Amino acid sequence: MDIRRKTLLALGVTFIVLFCIIAGVSMFLYVDQLGHLEQQQVTKDVTEVVSAIANDEDDLSNTLHDWSYWDETYQFALDQNPDYITQNLDEKSLSALRVNLYIVTDTGGNIVYGKVVDPVTGHDRPLPEQMNSLLPAGHPFLNFTSLTGTHAGLLLLPQGPLMIVSSPVLDSRREGPPHGILVMGRSLDQRVFTRISRVTGNPVSARWTGDGIAGGSPLSLLQQLNPDTVLSIPRSDEIISGYTVINDINGQKILIVTDQPRDLYQNGLAIIRTYLVLFTFALLLTLLIVLLVIDQAILKRLNLLTNRVRNMGHDDDMKPELNGADEIALLERVILSAHADLRNSEQKLHTFIDAVSDPSLLLKPDGTIIFANTALARVLGEPLENLAGANVRTWFPVQDREKEAKILYDVVSDKKMVQQELHFFGKNYLVTLYPVIGSDGNVEQIALLTVDISDLKRVEIALQRATKKINLLNMVIFNDIQNQIFIQLGYFQLAGGLTSDSRILGFIKKEETAAKEIQSSLDFAKEYQTMGTNSPLWQNVNQVIVFALSHIDLGQIAHMFELDGLEIYADPLLEKVFFKIIKNTTIHGDGATRIRVGFGETPDGLILFFEDDGPGIAYDRKERIFEKSLGAGAATSLFLAREILSITGISITENGEPGGGARFEILVPAESYRFKPQ
């Protein structure tokens, strides 16, 4: 299937999937959002109902205070004078105040007078028999910690719930001692809910156990809901109900129910349906326009451009054929220009590679030659056109082919440049292999460049021979001088035994000291002369330290190495460096019991440390110990250690705390250390 058919098919499928996604999101996400908004509205309405009940309780509390802080009520609670009842507690007075329950208790909470006014008929009724059990003496509703305190809540009676409030009975100055508790109640009946419904705009009702609930959802909600929890349940597409529970003063649950029309939900559904119809129409119209435009303006022209690109290898002189100044016409001109530039670059690259005097080639990871220069053809004695497609290992001796295959494998697996010296057709070459990484992150090709170092190798060999001869000459001269100094020291001893003149003996002593200094300097020069004459190499630190320790008697000093396969690139005299550092502890570390060697990596490189628990080194001597010493101490000076390390860019410092032990830190650059499995 070509790109034109794929694009048309993809557009059609995309528009269908897009429509399904948007329709699905609209019907599920938006409908779900409508449900959340509806839940918020129901919660708001239920909260308003609860607030309205609380406002009624506040209103009843104000009425209660007018009576509980009244001298006549204060006296009545003390003597229960019937005149108070006759003059103040008639049916009309209490009905006018919308008070349906009036109770006075003594100071112990026992009811001394109680009266109920029927909210429907307005006539007096005796207190219910269960009132003493619902509001017994000692009930928290009748206990106060403050003289002017007020309790408010609901009380569930068999006839229905009451809003009740209580307060201590005080005199008109609101002073005590209290003579009892005054309790007032207001029926929470349908008239109250009708008034609340006018405020909220939605019907409100209450349900409780014993009002005829025998089962079903109201009873289940009454049992499961907790106070301050609001639950909304759609009853139909037109009505949704909100539920909450209020506990009365005895923990009995009262279910508050409010119903409201689902206007928000219905309007939202209508908007979604209208939106989907309009979107479908717009989608179909857009699809038709896009298909026509894309097919005529893009797909057909892309198909033509694709055919032209396929024919590029057969026609080197191609001219633009697409008209216009749009992106596709511009792309055709850019491709043709890039193709011409690529051919020019390829020709320049071939010219450049052929101009290189040493063999160079481009390989596949398996060693197959992709491109080679004339220098390689000249060395191999093969025509240049015969090299492409051949395997480079064909020209290596059979015994070397496995080694060369291993080098190619390392370049491919490590994806890093590899260098090695190679003896090839009677010459020495420095061979560099560069991995060419493809878009998938793997090595696709290997560039192999060589440099003829035959002359350099001959110079190197000649230099090594000359160095050996110079070292041999130095050894002969050093030995001759040391022999003469040894003889001279013997004559000094003989001369000292032939005289008792203190001045002459003093002169002899000074001459003997000078001769010993010369002898020490010769020993130092003997060690120093071989430094740097041999090439640096990778050395296993643990093994080098073990070799250094083999020449030192540590006595009772314990040692601990934590090196984990560490290798560093340093002069072959590295063993002498470690010898001098450890020897420093045995000579100057009085009382030292251990030597610890470890390392730590830092942004600047790796720090290899040698530390002991001896007396340490004073701050003013931390640099002086690395200076070239004179006399007998020259042989153990750390000057030589610093010089040996500096050959490969490694530095050494002493960073221990005086009194806390010496700590020599060797800073190895990042390119001069590595780890090998042990």
Q: In this predicted structure, what is the pLDDT of residue 632? A: 39
User: Which pair of tokens denotes residue 78?
Assistant: 């003390």
Q: End of a domain among 418, 452, 486?
A: 452
239-247, strands of its sheet edge to edge: 204-208, 253-261, 239-247, 231-234
What's the pTM? 0.41
CATH number at residue 397: 3.30.450.20
> Which residue bears the tokens 């303006």?
297
- Which pLDDT belongs to residue 524? 63
- Where does a domain end: 509, 528, 547? 528
What domain range includes position 482? 458-528
Residues 658 and 555 occupy one common structural domain: yes
Domain count across the chain: 4
- Does 225 map to a domain? no
577 and 448 within one domain:
no
Instruction: Spell 299-321 as b/e; 16+ CB within 10 A means b.
Output: bebbeebeebeeeeeeeeebeee
Of 452, 482, 506, at which residue does a domain stop? Answer: 452
Let me know whether 464 and 499 are in one domain: yes
Q: What is the pLDDT of residue 316?
A: 58
Are 246 and 50 a contacting pair, CB within 8 Å?
yes
Among 55, 197, 234, CA closest to 206: 197
Shared domain for 636 and 545, answered yes or no, is yes
d(C-alpha 610, C-alpha 498), whole Å: 51
End-to-end Cα distance, the chain: 58
DSSP string of 514-570?
HHHHHHHHHHHHHHHTTTTSS--EEEEHHHHHHHHHTT---TT-EEEE--TTEEEEE
Domain membership of residue 75 (yes or no) is yes
Q: What is the pLDDT of residue 270?
A: 79
Cα separation of 580 and 552, whole Å?
A: 10
pLDDT of residue 469: 67
Q: Kindly state whether residues 154 and 100 are assigned to the same domain.
A: yes
- 95 with 121, same domain: the answer is yes
Q: How far apart are CA 636 and CA 523, in angstroms?
A: 10
Q: Which residue has the tokens 């909210």?
A: 119
Tell me the average confidence (pLDDT) per consecutive run of 10 residues in the chain, 678 residues long.
Answer: 66 77 72 78 84 88 91 90 88 85 90 87 83 87 88 87 92 88 88 80 79 61 77 82 86 84 78 80 78 69 71 64 71 74 72 76 84 81 80 73 78 84 79 85 85 78 68 72 82 82 85 80 66 80 92 89 91 89 88 93 94 91 78 57 89 92 94 86
Write out the two tokens for 364.
């596949």
Same-domain check for residues 493 and 374? no
Closest CA to 356 of 344, 373, 369, 370: 373
Query: How would DSSP label each residue in 245-285?
Result: EEE-TTS-EEEEEEEEE-HHHHHHHHHHHHHHHHHHHHHHH
From the CB of residue 236, how many other CB atoms can be counted at a distance below 10 Å?
Answer: 8
Q: What's the one-letter identity of residue 269?
A: L
The verdict on 663 and 545 lying in the same domain is: yes
In a domain, 511, yes or no: yes
Contacts of 265 (CB under 8 A, 6+ apart): 34, 35, 38, 234, 237, 240
The answer to whether the CB of 644 falls within 8 A of the CB of 655 is: no
Distance CA 161, CA 469 (A): 121
CA–CA separation, 374 and 383 (whole Å): 9
Contact 55, 206 (CB under 8 A): no
* pLDDT of amino acid 634: 39
Q: Are 627 and 523 in a shared domain?
A: no
3-class SS letters over 424-469: ECCEEEEEEEEEEECCCCCEEEEEEEEEECHHHHHHHHHHHHHHHH
Q: Residue 39 has what pLDDT?
A: 82
Task: Please state the φ and ψ torsions of residue 339, each to the nearest 5 degrees.
Answer: -65, -45
Query: Residues 509, 555: one domain?
Result: no
Pairing of strands 594-602, 558-561: parallel
Question: In this structure, what DSSP letter does residue 81 have?
Answer: -
- Please write down the HEC assignment for all residues of 274-335: HHHHHHHHHHHHHHHHHHHHHHHHHHHHHHHHHHHHHCCCCCCCCCCCCCCCCHHHHHHHHH
Please count the residues of the chain. 678
Q: Do 541 and 598 share a domain, yes or no?
A: yes
Any domain includes 551:
yes
Find the helix or strand (DSSP H, E) in which 663 lies.
Answer: strand 663-668
C-beta contacts of 386-393 below 8 A and 24+ residues apart: 387/361, 391/366, 391/367, 392/361, 392/363, 392/367, 392/368, 392/448, 393/367
**The domain that contains 633 carries what CATH number?**
3.30.565.10
Do the domain assignments include residue 259? no
Q: Are residues 423 and 510 in the same domain?
A: no
The confidence score (pLDDT) of residue 185 equals 92
Determine, yes or no, domain membership for 113: yes
Q: Is 131 helix (H, G, I), strand (E, B) or coil?
A: helix
Flag whether 316 is in a domain: no
- Identify any residues that bridge with 119 across adjacent strands, giving them in sequence order: none
* Separation of alpha carbons 224 and 219, rounded Å: 9
Q: Which residues contact 109 (CB under 8 A, 6 or more apart)?
A: 136, 137, 138, 139, 142, 143, 181
Residue 506 lies in a domain: yes
DSSP-based three-state secondary structure for 226? coil
**Which stretches does DSSP call E strand in 75-176?**
101-105, 111-117, 124-125, 151-157, 160-168
